Every structure is written in C-alpha cells, then in structure tokens.
C-alpha cells in the first residue's frame, strides 16, 4: 500500500482524549504533546492501561506520577505538564501517524443538534475517543479533529501515547512497512483467493480457486511474493470502492489490518487471473 508522502505537511502537535464512560471506572486519559514536550497529560494512577503498568515496580510508577506533577490532590486525577519529549517516541509516533494518513478523515459536525427536554436526566456518560492533529503546512498551523482510525497501526499509536504518559518499557507493537498479506478476486465465472495459513511453521498460504481448474491448494511464501509484488505494481487509482456483490470485486488485505475493497472490471480481473495461472499454476 502506498502511503502519502506530503513533504509540505509535518505533524506539529497531537491531542488525544479517551474514556470508557462513567461505568468504566477511572478510564479517562488525556495527552497533548509536540516534538519538544508532553504539554499536558492526565490519568488516574490507579488505572493500569496494560500488563506493563500492572507489573511495573510500584516505586518506579510513583516516581513517574510525581514527576512534573501540577495537581497534588490525593484522590484526584494525576495531572503532569511540560515533560521533556523522548525523541525516539516522537519519531515513532510521527511515522505511524504518517502511515495512517489515508485513514484520517476530518470529523464532520452535525448541521443540526438535538435539544433534550429539561426533565431528561442522563445517568451514564458515554464512552469517547477524540483525536486532534496540528499540522505545520508551509509555515502555517492547521488543527483538525479526526475520526479515530482503526487497526493495528492505530493500536500502536495508542500504545505510544500511553508510554509517553507513563514510560514503563512497553513493546510498541510497531507494524513496520505496510505490506499486502492476502487478496480475493471475484468475477462472474471464477474467483481466486490467496490467504495465509495461520500458525503455519513455513509461512505457507492457501490457494482457493473456484470456477477454474487448479492442481494445488497450498503455495509457499516464495510463490506468494511475486504475486504480492505484481498486485502492488497495479495502478488501481481508477477503481472505486466496491462490495462483494459487485460483478467484479477485488479485496486487498494488509498487515496493519487495513482492507481495500474495490470494484474491478473484466480487463483487470482477466489480467490478475492470467498472472496467477502463469506464475503460480505454471500455465504458459
């Protein structure tokens, strides 16, 4: 998957807020940071975000929570400000955000808001996840609120934010370069699918073929790699979003758990089919 490479736009600041709602005790978390510092973070110190926090040395956690603290309320949220930034974590954060660029969609504000009757009392606050990114675009700043993305790479961003707030040595679970891991092609008379065999020791793949003949149902990683490179080389910019019900349908799955579902056409389908039959099935 090709990532956007806009050298004129640079991440300058991030602001993140989340909560599991009032029924999820002490789940609130906030962090705002730029390349120089964690401007502000707030959290409940008795709420462990993951096993790394839960298993950390209590004295070390207490030292973290007391450092740069601006709120000394015994039973309140821990609020810390102006913490020097870890340059490696900021670099990792900006790289992951850059890879997520195709999934970042600005939040749309509703044109109309619903006013509740004055006698309606809401008992439970809803859960939320909010993301603001400030960009340096040609020397000027632009702050945009986005719908939170999904997938493994977004999970990595969350882990980095937790590590910035409470550095306990987490595995950041970085995906690395985005790579195609499987695909599915459907046409009226045939379909082709290559998908990894989970937990296989030799990284082999299933090959599912319907409507056409095929002498094999499994392929090696060496057989898959040329297919992956071929699919990556295709210009799919004119393909619109598609559904399984489309007459010609192409689905591409990536290692960061993102999926492209495209409406193909007969020419593209025949092109991919021909490559599979020659490269994988050995037809001439």
Q: What is the pLDDT of residues 236-275, one digit of tens each?
A: 999 999 999 999 999 999 999 999 999 999 999 999 999 9
Phi/psi of residue 266, nearest 5 degrees:
-65, -40
The per-residue pLDDT for range 186-199, each reduced to its tens digit, is 999 999 999 999 98
pLDDT > 90 in the chain, percent: 80
In the chain, where are the structural domains located? 9-109+125-165, 180-279
Highest-confidence range of 3-12, 17-26, 67-76, 107-116, by mean pLDDT?
A: 17-26
Tell me what pLDDT residue 72 has: 60
Long-range contacts at 220-228 (CB < 8 A, ≥ 24 apart): 223/279, 223/280, 224/194, 226/279, 227/183, 227/194, 227/275, 227/276, 227/279, 227/280, 228/179, 228/180
Q: What is the pLDDT of residue 17?
A: 96
Helices (H), the chain: 51-54, 58-66, 87-99, 152-165, 221-233, 266-279
- What tens digit of pLDDT does each residue of 19-45 get? 988 788 899 999 999 999 999 999 999
Residue 23: CB atoms within 10 A of its CB come to: 11
Q: What is the pLDDT of residue 7?
A: 52
CATH of domain 9-109+125-165: 3.30.1560
Question: Taking all residues of the chain, what is their mean pLDDT, rounded to a whole number?
Answer: 91
How would residue 75 be classed by pLDDT, with cut points 50, 70 and 90? Answer: low
Determine the 3-state secondary structure of 99 from DSSP.
helix
CA distance 173 to 144: 26
* Residue-level pLDDT at 227: 97
Assess whether pLDDT exceeds 50 at residue 4: no
Token readout for 159 is 């882990």
For the segment 202-229, what is each residue's pLDDT rounded down to a tens digit? 899 999 999 999 999 999 999 999 999 9
């Amino acid at each position: 998957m090709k990532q956007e490479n806009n050298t004129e736009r640079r991440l300058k600041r991030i602001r993140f807020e989340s909560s599991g709602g009032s029924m999820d005790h002490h789940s609130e978390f906030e962090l705002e940071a730029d390349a120089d510092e964690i401007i502000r973070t707030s959290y409940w110190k008795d709420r462990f975000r993951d096993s790394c926090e839960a298993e950390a040395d209590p004295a070390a956690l207490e030292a973290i929570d007391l450092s740069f603290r601006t709120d000394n309320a015994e039973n309140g949220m821990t609020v810390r400000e102006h913490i020097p930034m870890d340059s490696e974590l900021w670099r990792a954060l900006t790289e992951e955000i850059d890879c997520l660029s195709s999934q970042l969609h600005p939040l749309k504000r509703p044109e109309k808001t619903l006013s509740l009757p004055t006698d309606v009392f809401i008992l439970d606050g809803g859960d939320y996840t909010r993301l603001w990114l400030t960009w340096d675009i040609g020397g000027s700043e632009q702050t945009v609120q986005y719908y939170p993305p999904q997938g493994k790479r977004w999970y990595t961003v969350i882990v980095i934010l937790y590590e910035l707030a409470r550095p306990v040595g987490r595995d950041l679970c970085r995906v690395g370069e985005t790579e195609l891991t499987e695909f599915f092609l459907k046409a009226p008379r045939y379909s082709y699918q290559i998908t990894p065999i989970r937990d296989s020791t030799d990284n082999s793949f299933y090959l599912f073929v319907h409507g056409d003949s095929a002498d094999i149902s499994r392929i090696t990683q060496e057989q898959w790699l040329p297919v992956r490179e071929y699919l990556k080389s295709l210009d799919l910019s004119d393909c619109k979003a598609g559904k399984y019900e489309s007459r010609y349908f192409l689905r591409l799955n990536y290692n960061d758990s993102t999926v492209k579902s495209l409406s193909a056409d007969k020419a593209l389908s025949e092109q991919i089919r021909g490559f599979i039959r020659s490269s994988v099935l050995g037809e001439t």
